[in-house]
């Protein structure tokens, strides 16, 4: 099999019966041509994966009034972390469909126990795309907050880069050309090779707002002794 991108021959590698090729330059603006050639009688099914990103120090065009932070113990390699993600709505309006995307350090694992720990606090399933953990949160009233445990398991120790996060309201993507985004930049994460596993923190959230009773009809408000 041979693969060319814009006339340049690539060197694919085979992993588990699947040929993989890094398509460098495919994300550049403009028209591209990808050619896959196989032997007589063979069938090729091509699947493309393209991701875009920005440096963490690039300011968003519009800032979302959402506060993000991490606390708790990172924990050692081959153990679960005792970390917790805190999200707070600082705006005057409800965040209808908040989503938080977290850049995980290399080797971080989102296993079934972690998914189960998060499931009861989300409006949808937590999922991982590459090194990005995506958490669809429940609606947050003005001033509302939630603290979610992140019992991630570390497969690699040392000083790693990660735990950058972005938060936005998924509803905005349907109505605004530019989505307001809150950014917590990536940072260095120290993961020891050995040590005790930290205690897993509990999830917490702001109590639901107290409903405001409807106003009395005007005649009842004007009646003495009512």
Supply the pTM of this predicted model. Answer: 0.73
Q: What does the pLDDT read at residue 226?
A: 45
SS3 218: helix
Q: What does the pLDDT read at residue 67?
A: 96
Do residues 184 and 102 share a domain?
A: yes
Per-residue pLDDT of the chain (226 residues; tens, 9 = 90+): 889 999 999 988 888 778 888 888 888 888 999 999 888 888 888 888 877 778 888 888 889 999 999 999 999 999 889 999 999 999 999 999 999 999 999 888 888 877 887 888 899 888 888 889 999 999 999 999 999 999 888 988 899 999 999 999 988 656 667 889 999 999 999 999 988 888 878 888 876 555 555 655 555 545 555 4
Q: What does the pLDDT read at residue 102?
A: 95
Do residues 74 and 30 share a domain?
A: no
- Determine the structural domain holding residue 29 and report its residue range: 2-37
Query: Is 211 inside a domain boundary?
Result: no
- Distance CA(137)–CA(88), nearest Å, equals 11
Do residues 31 and 125 share a domain?
A: no
Do residues 164 and 78 share a domain?
A: yes
Burial class (CB in 10 A: 0-12, 13-18, 19+), 28: exposed
| CATH number for the domain that contains residue 144 | 2.60.40.10
How many independent structural domains does the chain possess?
A: 2
The closest alpha carbon to 157, from 82, 107, 102, belongs to 107
Give CA angle at 106 (192, 200), nearest 5°.
55
- Distance CA(72)–CA(57), nearest Å, equals 24
């Amino acid at each position: 099999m041979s693969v060319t991108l814009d006339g340049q021959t690539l060197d694919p590698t085979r992993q588990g019966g699947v040929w993989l090729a890094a398509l460098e330059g495919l994300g550049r603006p403009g028209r591209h041509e990808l050619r896959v050639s196989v032997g007589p009688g063979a069938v090729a099914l091509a699947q493309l994966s393209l991701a875009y990103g920005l440096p963490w120090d690039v300011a968003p065009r519009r800032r979302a009034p959402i506060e993000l932070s991490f606390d708790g113990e990172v924990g050692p390699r081959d153990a679960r972390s005792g970390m917790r993600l805190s999200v707070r709505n600082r705006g005057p309006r409800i965040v209808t469909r908040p989503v938080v995307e977290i850049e995980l350090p290399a080797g971080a694992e989102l296993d079934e126990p972690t998914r189960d720990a998060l499931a009861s606090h989300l409006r949808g399933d937590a999922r991982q795309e590459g090194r990005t953990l995506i958490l669809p949160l429940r609606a947050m009233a003005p001033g509302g907050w939630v603290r979610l445990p992140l019992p991630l398991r570390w497969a690699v120790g040392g000083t790693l880069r990660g735990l950058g996060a972005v938060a936005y309201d998924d509803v905005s993507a349907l109505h605004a050309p530019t989505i307001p985004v809150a950014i917590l930049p990536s940072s260095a994460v120290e993961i020891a090779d050995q040590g005790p596993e930290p205690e897993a923190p509990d999830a917490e959230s702001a109590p639901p707002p107290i409903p405001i009773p409807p106003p009395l009809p005007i005649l009842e408000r004007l009646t003495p002794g009512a």
